[in-house]
Every structure is written in C-alpha cells, then in structure tokens.
Amino acid sequence: TELTARVLKLRHAHPVLRRRAFFSGRAQAPDGLRDLAWFTRDGREMTEGDWYAPAATLGLYLSGRDIPGRDARGEPVTDDSFLAVLHAGAEPVAFELPGAPWAAAY
C-alpha cells in the first residue's frame, strides 16, 4: 500500500529508525540527552508511576545524535530526532511538545 511504501522510505532515509544496537535510555552526551525518552501527554518525561497510570496517550522521543556505529566513510552516524505520539483513545487529545533539551523547535 501507499502507507507501507512511505513508512519504508522514511525508515530507509533515517538511521535513527534502523539502529544496529538497542536504545539504552541513558545519557549518551555530556548535556544529558538520552537516546530514547518517553513523555506524558502534558509534555513531561514519564516517571515509573506514569507507567502504571491509565493513559491512552504517550510520546516516544528518538535522538538522532550519538547513534552507535560509523557510516561507510568511518564518520559518526547522526540523524534527525523524532517524536512519535501514540494515542489509543477514541477521542482526539492535545499533546504538549517537550521543550529543551529535547527540542528547541518543532
């Protein structure tokens, strides 16, 4: 289908979506930015308690910085960062975008 083709094209174009190593969830850079983070719909990073709260919406941040491995030229692999908003509710909801250090602009 057209959607499948678009998703495959997006994955092919972005190394962050086809990493060779699992995300660690730990800081990979001196500024404390992690390779993966989860957010509540009010834009704050999820706590352990949030995982047990009934919520139909969450955000998944994938950092395009510090991707493990090297490219064909031996250079560090970098890419755009992505925020995927996942919503399982029946009605639309607002989602507050996380601010710094996750993103300065969207």
Question: 4-43: per-residue pLDDT in tens?
Answer: 999 999 999 999 999 888 888 888 777 778 899 999 999 9
Q: Provide the residue range defining the domain that includes 75.
A: 2-87
Q: What pLDDT digit, counting tens, does each position of 65-75 carry?
A: 878 888 889 99
26 falls within a domain: yes
Number of domains in the chain: 1
| Helices first, then strands: H and E counts in the chain | 1, 5
Of 100, 106, 72, 84, the residue nearest 16 (C-alpha)? 84
How many other C-beta atoms can be found within 10 angstroms of the C-beta atom of residue 59? 23
7 falls within a domain: yes
101 falls within a domain: no
Of 61, 60, 81, the residue nearest 15 (C-alpha)? 81
Question: What pTM did the predictor assign?
Answer: 0.85
